[in-house]
């Protein structure tokens, strides 16, 4: 495989390409951050150098295989990797026009959450940093400059943390894209060791934990990660992270009809939130045809929100986006539209 360069920092590019001038590595790094996909785009490099690099290396290792656009403006890209595996990445635009890249960190997912399409695929492999970086840049080419990035697509970020950290180094480098760390969110199903790693070693990011239910036995059924990451231990890790970093943690709850919207579930959520600085983000379950769940009713959602607010807990309801193209939370891994709209 000819090496691609999107997963490298300037000095690494210099070393990988055996460039005799360090400044060339910085130039190439900057070009990539500005959207260059080929060496021919890098017009301040000599023709001789561009010709040589075209023969010995390449900028990107992935390509867009399919582009789907939801009526609400959400964009989903199916991206083909060098080994012919495919992943999906999504662009979300909020009511204020802010654009967020929801990127994948693994091909498939090993977590097996019962309510998630991606969990049905199983685990393929971890993505390299360059394969994650390229998702962000592919989306920028489609939609212009992005405001935020969330590691919330296919896969569990904490199980590919080294590549996540490298991706952040690349995107936040002042010599390149210069994205602020304050615009980055990492979402985890609750891998406790990863939370402590970020708290102790950085980078300090916005942390979102997929809680869904705060009942140990029920959570084991819905989210097998609970078998090795107990709820009380998870709460302790969240408390440690928020106190160490000063960053409030978001607890995400996928609301499912007759499962986690009743009075018992509300009391368990409230009890879990006691003593930690958290915000609840409620997400109506997005339909996956092959799964035996139902979306919550408006009454269920309003009841749970009211209970949490009455307990003094900060809570929001996530707007439904990207559902018609299989781009909403829990739907990644299967394209719902028949045509290729690239």
pLDDT at 322: 85
Domain-terminating residue out of 41, 56, 71: 56
Q: Do 52 and 67 fall within a single domain?
A: no
Q: Do 140 and 175 fall within a single domain?
A: yes
Give the model's confidence band at 338: pLDDT under 50 very low, under 70 low, under 90 confident, else very high. Answer: very low
Q: Do 181 and 107 fall within a single domain?
A: yes
pLDDT at 220: 98
Residue from 48, 86, 88, 252 carrying the catalytic annotation: 88
Q: Do 156 and 33 fall within a single domain?
A: no
* CATH number of the domain bearing residue 261: 3.20.20.70
d(CA 214, CA 329): 20
Q: Does residue 5 lie within any of the structural domains?
A: no
Q: Do 154 and 210 fall within a single domain?
A: yes
pLDDT at 342: 37
Q: Do 101 and 205 fall within a single domain?
A: yes
Can 88 be counted among the known catalytic residues? yes
Q: Helix 298-310 and helix 263-273: axis angle, to 10°?
A: 40
For range 225-248, the mean pLDDT:
98
- Total number of domains constituting the chain: 2
Could you tell me if 195 and 188 are in contact, meaning their C-beta atoms sit under 8 angstroms apart? yes
pLDDT digits (tens, 9 = 90+) for 99-124: 999 999 999 999 999 999 998 889 99
Q: Which domain holds residue 40?
A: 10-56
pLDDT at 181: 97
Could you tell me if 160 and 189 are in contact, meaning their C-beta atoms sit under 8 angstroms apart? no
d(CA 226, CA 189): 9
pLDDT digits (tens, 9 = 90+) for 31-72: 999 999 999 999 999 999 999 999 999 999 999 999 999 999
Q: Do 134 and 32 fall within a single domain?
A: no
Can 113 be counted among the known catalytic residues? no
For range 280-306, the mean pLDDT:
95
Q: Does residue 1 lie within any of the structural domains?
A: no
pLDDT digits (tens, 9 = 90+) for 260-276: 999 999 999 999 999 99
Q: Does residue 238 lie within any of the structural domains?
A: yes
pLDDT at 55: 92
Look at residue 215 and tell me whether its pLDDT is greater than 50: yes
Residue from 102, 105, 249, 329 carrying the catalytic annotation: 329
Note the pTM of the prediction, 2 decimals.
Answer: 0.94
């Amino acid at each position: 495989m000819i090496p691609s360069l999107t997963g490298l920092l300037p000095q690494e590019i210099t070393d990988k390409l055996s460039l005799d001038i360090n400044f060339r590595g910085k130039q190439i790094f900057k070009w990539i951050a500005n959207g260059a996909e080929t060496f021919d785009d890098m017009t301040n490099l000599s023709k001789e150098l561009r010709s040589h690099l075209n023969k010995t290396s390449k900028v990107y290792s992935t390509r867009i295989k399919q582009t789907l656009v939801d009526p609400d403006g959400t964009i989903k890209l199916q991206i083909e990797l060098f080994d012919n595996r495919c992943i999906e990445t999504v662009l979300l635009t909020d009511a204020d026009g802010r654009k967020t890249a929801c990127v994948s960190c693994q091909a498939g997912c090993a977590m097996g959450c019962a309510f998630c399409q991606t969990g049905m695929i199983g685990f393929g492999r971890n993505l390299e940093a360059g394969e994650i970086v390229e998702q962000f840049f592919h989306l920028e080419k489609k939609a212009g400059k992005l405001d935020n990035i969330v590691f919330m697509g296919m896969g569990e970020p904490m199980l590919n943390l080294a590549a996540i950290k490298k991706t952040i180094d690349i995107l936040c480098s002042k010599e390149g894209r210069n994205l602020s760390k304050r615009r980055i969110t990492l979402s985890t199903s609750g891998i406790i060791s990863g939370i402590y790693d970020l708290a102790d070693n950085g980078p300090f990011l916005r942390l979102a934990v997929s809680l869904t239910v705060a009942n140990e036995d029920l959570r084991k059924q819905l989210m097998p990660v609970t078998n090795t990451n107990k709820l009380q231990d998870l709460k302790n890790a969240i408390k440690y992270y928020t106190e160490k970093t000063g960053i409030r943690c978001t607890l995400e709850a996928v609301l499912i009809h007759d499962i986690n919207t009743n009075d018992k579930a509300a009391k368990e959520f409230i009890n879990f939130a006691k003593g930690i600085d958290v915000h609840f983000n409620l997400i109506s379950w997005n339909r996956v045809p092959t799964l035996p769940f139902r979306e919550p009713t408006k009454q269920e959602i309003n009841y749970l929100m009211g209970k949490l607010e009455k307990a003094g807990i900060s809570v929001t309801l996530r707007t439904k986006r990207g559902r018609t193209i299989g781009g909403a939370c829990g739907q990644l891994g299967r394209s719902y539209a028949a045509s290729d709209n690239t």
